[in-house]
Amino acid sequence: MPDMSSNQAPDPRYDDFLELAAKWEGFWGLYHHGWLLHTSDGQTFCPVFANREDAQSWGASIQTNHIPVPITLIDAIEHIVPDWRENGIMAGVSPTPALAPVLVAPGDLSADLLGALKTAMTKQFGRT
């Protein structure tokens, strides 16, 4: 679940991100000698995107030399997300030049990605 510390309605960008990440079994981050980390309202996050173009656009808006790099769901769940959890880093889903990211705790992101993948597989292959 996205960060619901405020009383705002859930941001549809998170559901869209989950659906596309499950469909393509991965998502995009920005990389240059390490994953880009950014801060919003005092919280460090790693920005992640459903597609390359959004990652590239946001990277250009903050004038970074990090480039869009695909992240497989396996790599995310087994390696990247545990590192975020250990270091107090949130996932920053789909930031735009006009909108702050949807901040999601690493454990929630893993569970939500697995749930979205299960849903996508059920839609594609039916119940087994």
CATH number for the domain spanning 49: value is 3.40.1350.90
Which residues lie below 8 Å from residue 22, measured CB to CB, with a gap of 6+? 73, 113, 116, 117, 119, 120
128 within a domain of the structure (yes/no): no
What is the domain extent for residue 85?
12-118
124 within a domain of the structure (yes/no): no
**Percentage of the chain exceeding pLDDT 90:** 83
**Percentage of the chain exceeding pLDDT 70:** 91
* pLDDT given for residue 17 in this prediction: 97
Is the pLDDT at 103 greater than 80, yes or no? yes
6 within a domain of the structure (yes/no): no
Q: How far is CA 75 from CA 57, 111, 122, 127, in A?
A: 24, 14, 22, 26
Is the pLDDT at 85 greater than 50, yes or no? yes
Distance CA 9, CA 102 (A): 12
Specify the number of domains making up the chain: 1
| Residue-wise pLDDT tens digits, 87-96 | 999 999 999 9
126 within a domain of the structure (yes/no): no
Is this prediction's pTM over 0.85? yes
125 within a domain of the structure (yes/no): no
* pLDDT given for residue 125 in this prediction: 84
What number is the average pLDDT over the span 25-31? 97
Q: How far is CA 19 from CA 26, 51, 85, 87, 128, in A?
A: 10, 12, 23, 27, 21
